[in-house]
Amino acid sequence: MIRDITIGQHFPGNSLVHRLDPRMKIILTMGYIVLLFLAANPGGLVLATVLLGILYRVAKIPLKLIVKSLKPILPIILFTVVLNLFFITGQGSPLFEMGFIKVYIEGVRYAVLMGVRIVLLIAGTSLLTYTTSPISLTDAIERLLSPLAKLHCPVHELAMVMTIALRFIPTLIEETDKIMNAQKARGAQLDSGTLQQRMKAMVPILIPLFVSAFRRADELAMAMECRCYRGGEGRTRLKQLRLTSTDWASFGVCMVIFAGIWATNLLFTGL
């Protein structure tokens, strides 16, 4: 049901991956994503998969969770794979032909590569959110973006908006559950009927949900003002982010592996 959503969930722990500086983790994750699209051959992606597998092991995140977080985006993966399969044309003769559909060996290759890429993309970014609490994540984003503050960009405010948004996801899920039950008790039919009927059936859920979200926002703003919140200027932190030697060492190791993955491009050009 609605409570099964795992994307963006945090799993507390005390592994090496958990303890890394969140800024470092964000940068490395971003590097990893870029790399996934740079690696244009199976060898590189195999290496990238192995690297991620090891990191998941170190972080002690059960593999079941990855499967769970991949479920909702399965349609996107399938769509991409099918699209690549049918629309990439290669030189040689097609492997398979049926009417206007022609499947080439290149198409199969790209389809598999794209599928693996998207899976790794989700699994990689999930690792970041699994091992980093939302608070330290936004903290890190704020620090990483702090140079923009000089250009009068409200970096602190944006980070605060993100923290609040993340904080309210579970609350709103719970609220939705409650409202759904209340309307079901009044005979609402949510899971049957035509598409139009189903959309109509959502109205009794969405309106109370919006009303309560606005009420909560109002209450929270009031509570923040009561505690003299006035934005980021001159605000000090309970937990100062400091890069340690472990962070730099991990950065170095990851960079070497990243370089290795990239280098496979040169090795497997023939494939």
Contacts with another protein by CB under 8 A lie at 178-179, 181-189, 203-204, 207-208, 211-212
Q: Cα Rg for the chain, rounded, in angstroms?
A: 23
> Nearer Cβ to another protein, position 33 or 188?
188
Distance of closest approach, residue 165 Cβ to another protein, in angstroms: 21
Distance of closest approach, residue 167 Cβ to another protein, in angstroms: 20
Q: By three-state DSSP, how is residue 173 classified?
A: helix
- Taking the CA atoms of 223, 226, 229 and 234 in sequence, report the sign of the dihedral they define: negative
CB atoms within 10 A of CB 244: 12
Distance of closest approach, residue 210 Cβ to another protein, in angstroms: 9
Beta strand 101-103 pairing with 96-98 = antiparallel
> Nearer Cβ to another protein, position 207 or 267?
207
> Nearer Cβ to another protein, position 37 or 214?
214
| Separation in Å, CA 181 to CA 1, 104, 205 | 13, 51, 10
> Secondary structure of the chain: what % helix, strand, coil (to 5)?
75, 0, 25
> Nearer Cβ to another protein, position 203 or 224?
203
